[in-house]
Amino acid sequence: MNARATGALIALFAGLLLLPAFASSYVLSLATLILLFAYTGQAWNILMGFAGQLSLGHALYLGVGGYAAAALYFHYGIGPWLGLWLAIFLCALIAAFIGFLAFRYRISGVYFALLTIAFAEFTRIGFDHFSWVGGSGGLFLKVTQRESLDLLNLRGPPAMFYYGALMLAGAALVLCSWLLKSRPGFYWQAIREDEEAARALGIDVFKWKMLAMILSAALTSVAGVFIALYYNNLFPEQIFHIGRSIEIILGPIIGGLGTLFGPVIGAALLTLLAEIATELMTALGWQFAGLKQLVYGVILLFVIIFLPHGVWSPLARKLGIDNVSRRDAGAQSLDSK
Amino acid sequence: MLDPINFTNVIISGVLTGLVYGLMALGLSVIFGVARVVNFAHGEMMTIAMYAAVMLFAGLKLDPFITVIPIAAAFCVLGYFLQCAVIQPFITRPEHSQFILLLAIAVIMTNLLLILFGPDARSVQLDALLQSIEIGPLLIDRGKLYAAMVAAATAAALFGFFRFTFTGTAIRACADNWLGARVVGLDVKKLYALAFGLGSACVAVAGCMMTLLVDLTPNLGPAYTLLAFVIVIVGGLGSMTGALLGGVLIGVSEALAGLFIVPSAKSMFSFALLIVVLLFRPQGLLGHRS
């Protein structure tokens, strides 16, 4: 990372730290959403962008994570700090199970994607009939005073959630930048580029794919806990829905698969463009359900046709922080197979 | 408790619905088998065909058994050009790129339908189909029977096309060996597009028939895309008989799941079946190991 990039990053982080001081609650909620998508995108990117395994069922980990922490809190009054560990543990276990089945039987590509969808949908319908956590009627957490800050139970004002999301996104960025530069990252990229060649070089392909799967799922489950606490409600039809999984993958794809800043840029672009479109339509007096998703779809179509490597790599070159993407340049070869 | 007549009725109903499912999946299978493109917008395409049938019925009082012909023809043309213009450049791109392209198309289709037609459920009510057919103690739903017959006839026509016509044989040649087909002078691009068109026509016919079986909402698409995948993977990706067999199997298992457990959990059963098949026989029941 060159000096220019480091400087820009520090300035950005400082700006984000100060944001709640002068931003309206609307801007703050938008920023929280962007950071949350940046975080989940980063988590998904480990599995797809680094290790090359296309998961289309990441909503599964959001849902299980969210429900685990929320149910503990709802039924036993056990706070989210403990629930978080249960969420991580459960999701790691589920990911290990799915990963074991898939990678043992050498299921990859489209088949792997379908397997992940099947597990997510299976769980969604299961939770629809799981009355202990409210079934399809949903699970609701008590909405507390938004002014008082209760860090022990993570109940507090929007600014608390904003800083939580900022911390998550920042930590994920640091983790991924470390991963890319260290042994796991190189192994994953080797597997992504050519699994057989990686195997021939003595890389334990199964082990490293499992690791990517478990890490990605565990990170995603934390976002699930965050969503449960932030929105105070969980519905299987929303949290487990395939639309959720698609939302997670849009950011990294638009930003640039396998890059470090792709998920962040992608999340910001996507959220802002969808918001602008919604505002514009509201101003024009057009109120349509599905408009946001339509905008997502059009952006996705545009990016995949005209910018198959995402917006980050060309942007980085323009901004003169090319060095950053040199390490990410491997992502380019994702498309040269 | 288990009444054998009721049980038989449920099985028959499942087989009939399953044939329509099978035709839908056949479209997916043709597209994948030939062009090697995973059509992730399959259910969404069917939903569009369903809207065409329902709107023509509501506006012009034409029943789906008549409108199925122009709708299928229109879909064949649309599929042909969709393949030529949008999908063909992606043929050489990696799998996930194609997948995401079609995902984008699917998202656009679903939400356009939602914006155009709103979330309300629509259906086709034909007076002629209200009365069930009685065979001894058995009751057969007329709409389902006719829908299944149209589906079976379309599938048979498609089989005939692939087996007996020159173009059909040429398309199979492309599917078998892309390079070989080029070497003997076949226009592979055109045949890919034609396969996509035929697959689209299949799904259009299935969609028209589907209007007789279910209520129509814009968000049916993703569920049917998944269902089509479940069917072709259970039957064997690329195997045409496998797709029909898989359709009937899923139709019957859904009907039985509706009888024995809560109806809303019926697709849970299909997904469980998909998981089991993917793990233990990934080539599907009638597929060949590649």
pLDDT reported for residue A337 = 39
A117, A122, A300: residue with CB nearest B104: A300
Q: Mean pLDDT score of chain A, rounded to an integer?
A: 86
Query: Cβ(B235)–Cβ(B28) under 8 Å?
Result: no
Q: CA of B99 to nearest chain A CA: how many angstroms apart?
A: 8
A111, A118, A293: residue with CB nearest B271: A118
> B103 and A246: CB-CB below 8 Å?
yes
What single-letter amino acid sits at A303? V
pLDDT reported for residue B43 = 92
Summarize the confidence of residues A203-230 as an average pLDDT.
Answer: 94
Instruction: Give the residue from chain A lying closest to B281, CA to CA.
Output: A105
Chain A environment of B115 (Cβ under 8 Å):
288-291, 294
Count of C-beta atoms within a 10 Å radius of residue A317? 12
> B95 and A110: CB-CB below 8 Å?
yes
> B226 and A121: CB-CB below 8 Å?
yes
What confidence tier does B108 reach under pLDDT thresholds 50, 70, 90?
very high
Taking 3-state DSSP, the helix, strand and coil percentages for chain A, each rounded to the nearest 5, stand at 80, 0, 20
Q: What is the ipTM of this complex?
A: 0.81
pLDDT reported for residue A267 = 93
pLDDT reported for residue B47 = 94
What confidence tier does A336 reach under pLDDT thresholds 50, 70, 90?
very low
Highest mean pLDDT among A279-288, B110-119, B269-278: B110-119
> B108 and A301: CB-CB below 8 Å?
yes
B105 contacts chain A (CB < 8 A) = yes
The answer on pLDDT for B283 being more than 80 is: no
What confidence tier does A321 reach under pLDDT thresholds 50, 70, 90?
low
Instruction: Give the residue from chain B lying closest to A53, CA to CA.
Output: B96
- Cα gap A223→A220, rounded to integer Å: 5
Summarize the confidence of residues B87-104 as an average pLDDT.
Answer: 84
- Cα gap A72→A324, rounded to integer Å: 42
- Cα gap A148→A157, rounded to integer Å: 7
B38 contacts chain A (CB < 8 A) = yes
Chain B environment of A246 (Cβ under 8 Å):
103, 107
Q: CA of B92 to nearest chain A CA: how many angstroms apart?
A: 8
Rounded to two decimals, the pTM is 0.85
Chain A environment of B86 (Cβ under 8 Å):
305
pLDDT digit string, tens, across residues A120-150: 988 998 898 888 888 888 888 877 655 677 7
pLDDT reported for residue A167 = 93
The answer on pLDDT for A329 being more than 70 is: no
* Spans of all domains in chain A: 3-13+36-335
pLDDT reported for residue A265 = 92
Closest among A157, A208, A165 to A52, alpha carbons compared: A208
What confidence tier does A162 reach under pLDDT thresholds 50, 70, 90?
very high
Chain A environment of B278 (Cβ under 8 Å):
105, 107, 111, 114-115, 118
Summarize the confidence of residues A54-80 as an average pLDDT.
Answer: 91
Q: Packing angle between helix A262-284 and helix A25-45, nearest 10 degrees?
A: 140
Q: CA of A278 to nearest chain B CA: how many angstroms apart?
A: 13
The answer on pLDDT for A325 being more than 60 is: no
Summarize the confidence of residues B1-8 as an average pLDDT.
Answer: 77
Q: Mean pLDDT score of chain B, rounded to an integer?
A: 85
- Cα gap B197→B85, rounded to integer Å: 13
Determine which of A125, A130, A306, A336 to mutate to test the interface with B (most B C-beta atoms within 10 Å).
A125
End-to-end CA distance of chain B: 46
| Dihedral Cα B225, B226, B231, B232, nearest 10 deg | 70
B157 contacts chain A (CB < 8 A) = no
The answer on pLDDT for A27 being more than 80 is: yes
Highest mean pLDDT among A6-20, A323-337, B36-50, B131-145: B36-50
Chain B environment of A101 (Cβ under 8 Å):
279
The pair phi, psi for residue B186, each rounded to 5°, is: -85, 145
> B38 and A110: CB-CB below 8 Å?
yes
Burial code of B11-26, b = ≥16 C-beta within 10 A, e = fewer? ebbbbbbbbbbbbbbb
The answer on pLDDT for B1 being more than 70 is: no
Bridge partners of A139, per DSSP, are A234
CA B162 from centroid of its chain's CA atoms? 18
